[in-house]
């Protein structure tokens, strides 16, 4: 009976899946940056696509902002490593900021356990006190990242050319990459 309980708890609290999803988010950010954004000229990086009312730079900035805010809420701190971007047009500063943030997320993931994943965090947003589970904050980062990386690739296709790779969680998890 005791063994069964331990086994059930071990399975229930094994949060390796969450670590893998966090790693996926960082990996796909880097892939999009290296393969689709680095080849852009500065003009392409900053050019607004009218029907999307966005630029590659602005969407990247929004991804970074969400990752930063969610990690602050998870860690209950007022800031996370890396300077806030004063100039969102500065691609080198944005890349440096993103690398710092990825390292902070990796550090969080390395120490993540079941108790932490299912615990709650209280924070203020839009003038109200709110509460979310840590896993909800993690998934907010993963889903906004997926959605916005899709926007980035569409913007890149409009200002330059379509990317020659696709976005997929399973390709990361299996290592079966296309492109």
Partner 1 sequence: MKSNIVRTVFAYQLYEDRRLWDEVIMPLDESLFYVDTGYSWGSLQRESAHVIDAMHGYMQRLHGSKQIAKAFAVDNPDRAQVRERWDAVEAEWRSYIARFDDREFDRLVDTVYRDTLVSVPVWQLVFQVFNHNTLHRAEILQIVAALAAPLDFDSSFARYCIRNAE
Closer residue to partner 1, CB minimum distance, 16 or 86: 16
Cβ-based burial of 73 (10 A; exposed 0-12, middle 13-18, buried ≥19): buried
Q: Does 168 bind partner 1 (CB under 8 A)?
A: yes
Count of residues touching partner 1 (by CB under 8 A): 45
Q: Looking at 83, 118, 119, 161, which residue binds partner 1 (CB under 8 A)?
A: 118
d(CA 71, CA 77): 8
User: Does position 176 bind partner 1 by CB under 8 A?
Assistant: yes
Binding residues for partner 1 restricted to 126-155, rule: CB under 8 A: 130-133, 135-137, 139-140, 142-144, 146-151, 154
149, two tokens: 């990386």
Choose between 52 and 83: whose C-beta lies nearer to partner 1: 52
Closest approach of partner 1 to the CB of residue 62, in Å = 11
Point out which span in 36-44, 82-90, 96-104, 167-175 binds partner 1 (CB under 8 A).
167-175
Residues near partner 1 (CB under 8 A) are 8, 11-15, 17, 21, 51-53, 70, 114, 118, 125, 130-133, 135-137, 139-140, 142-144, 146-151, 154, 157, 162, 167-171, 173-174, 176, 178
């Amino acid at each position: 009976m005791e063994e069964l309980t331990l086994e059930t708890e071990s399975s229930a609290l094994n949060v390796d899946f969450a670590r893998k999803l966090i790693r996926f988010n960082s990996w796909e950010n880097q892939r999009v940056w290296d393969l689709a954004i680095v080849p852009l000229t500065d003009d392409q990086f900053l050019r607004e696509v009218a029907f999307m009312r966005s630029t590659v730079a602005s969407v990247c900035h929004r991804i970074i902002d969400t990752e930063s805010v969610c990690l602050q809420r998870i860690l209950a701190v007022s800031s996370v490593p890396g300077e806030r971007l004063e100039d969102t047009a500065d691609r080198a500063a944005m890349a440096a900021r993103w690398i710092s943030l990825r390292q902070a997320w990796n550090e969080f993931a390395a120490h993540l356990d079941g108790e932490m994943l299912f615990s709650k965090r209280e924070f203020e947003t839009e003038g109200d006190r709110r509460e979310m589970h840590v896993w909800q904050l993690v998934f907010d980062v993963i889903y906004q990242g997926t959605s916005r990386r899709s926007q980035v690739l569409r913007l890149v296709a409009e200002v330059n050319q379509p990317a020659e790779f696709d976005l997929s969680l399973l390709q990361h998890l299996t290592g079966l990459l296309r492109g």
